Structure 1
């Protein structure tokens, strides 16, 4: 990666860190309030009979999850003592990333090793740009307290996808995020076009498309 581009990527990381910090600022108050809320315990349920077909389906689902590259989609509780944050750049195999069109992974110093954040130079058709992959312990609720524009879309199965457009670089930077049982997985797109250049690609569309590509490859965007 060129030195100039490294500076831009570093800037992207600073922005990402700002998002993380803004989310973290809400965590203390939220978790303190949550701690005082009684926890409801589900009533015991009587055992149900399982047919052979049900057993086979369960076995197939378990096998599918065992082969998955990242955790099942859905909400998570970072306060659970068994919660382990997902770090995609450290846990996703390089061959899987390359199949998704993410080549030449570069771990970001410090933040990359701690939180598993990495960047990839985008193919030529995207112009001078990068994709960034990261995991986070922050839920969608935490994003309500950060600057920028938030919009929503969803997977083929209806799982919500959050799109966060940068406040300072709305025309060139956006991230698409989805919640998993081990935290939020996000893919960001950033273009390095000059101030006098017009970007033909919408950054949120680029980020969303790449996230959907990853979900498709892992079987998590099926009808």
Structure 2
């Protein structure tokens, strides 16, 4: 048997080609896909304008139905509140009527007790006497009011008269003060004239000095001095 011819062996394949996966083989990837396979793929359906409007209308109808349900619930609550308000009005009317009846009953009991006291009072003289007493009380109140008015008028009159009297006293005090000042001047002149006329009758000079200075107490003293000097 002849030995194998190693020189004729083809070892052109590289080491990378030997260990490479068949799915990743560049030869397999180099083959183009047939046009029939690409044409057989289904295209996605296109949505028409009519379908979009129908979907939008359906959505709006669902929202409208939801709002209508909400409004119906709110209207139910409002109706319940109105009914409760009517019931509260009825209760309030009932309470007012009961209060009126209670007040009437209280007044009746008070009047009954008053009548009982009148019947048991030995000094009670009947309803006619009560009317007379009521009229007398009204008259007495009117008279008391008149007396108070008269007293008030009298006090005002007294206050006015007192003010006028004080005004007169004030004016009279000012006039008297002026007269006293003039009397003092005359008294001084009388006291000076006494010693100068020593030879004349002393009685005449003394009278003149005393008459002029009679307004104040000093006039009398000056006249006495004038008389004494005249006698000497």
TM, length-normalised to structure 1: 0.19
Higher RCO (CA-CA < 8 Å; seq separation 6+): 1
TM, length-normalised to structure 2: 0.19
Higher strand share: 1
The structure having more radius of gyration, on CA atoms, is 2
